[in-house]
Amino acid sequence: MSGKKALDALKTVADHMAKSKGFDRLMKDVKIISGGDGQCIAEFTVAEEHLNQAGGLHGGFTATLVDNVTTYALMTKDCPPGVSVDLHVSYLKGAREGDEVVIDAKTVKAGRTLAFIECEMRHKKDNSVIAKGGQTKFVAQ
């Protein structure tokens, strides 16, 4: 899936997640900027609810972003969202309240049973890497 159709589909999925009553409502401030052909780019501004006790971007929220935005990227390959079998995040730099963050996710490979997706989270102001991550998903239907 590419172009406007993919972007519209991603925005619909993200909007549905943001309106949920469960954990996924944390995605309400994440905006899908572009997507298609196995890629998704999203942005958000770090808010107070995204912080840990030390005032930095919470690692659990960072992992949630990796999980969700990589799944969005995968879905633009006309692949089901699947089930995570491995999720990993490397935390490289902090982010504080008010920082603007860009999340860039790419599908590396989507096969018959497994898909591999990776992403980077960067500070919008200077492109420095906050975190790198990715996941493997079981996608067989």
Domain layout of the chain by residue ranges: 3-138
Q: Answer whether 114's CB lies under 8 Å from 101's CB.
A: no
**Distance of CA 59 to CAs 118, 131, 134, Å?**
17, 9, 14
Query: Tell me, what's the pLDDT at 92?
Result: 98
| Opening angle at CA 73, ends 25 and 120, nearest 5 | 85
Cβ neighbours, 10 Å, residue 8? 13
Helix (H, G, I), strand (E, B), or coil: what is residue 9? Answer: helix
116 pLDDT above the threshold of 80: yes
Residue 3 exposure: Cα atoms within 13 Å on the Cβ side: 1
Q: Which two tokens stand for residue 62?
A: 């960072």
Question: Counting Cβ atoms within 10 Å, is residue 115 exposed (0-12), middle (13-18) or buried (19+)?
Answer: buried
Q: How far, in Å, CA of 132 to CA of 139, rounded?
A: 22
Angle, in degrees to the nearest 10, between helices 3-18 and 59-75: 140
Strand partners, 46: none
Q: How far, in Å, CA of 64 to CA of 138, rounded?
A: 18
Instruction: Name the superfamily (CATH) of residues 3-138.
Output: Hotdog Thioesterase (3.10.129.10)
Work out the mean pLDDT of the chain and round it to a whole number: 91
- Maximum average pLDDT range among 4-18, 73-87, 124-138: 124-138
Tens digits of per-residue pLDDT, 96-105?
Answer: 999 999 999 9
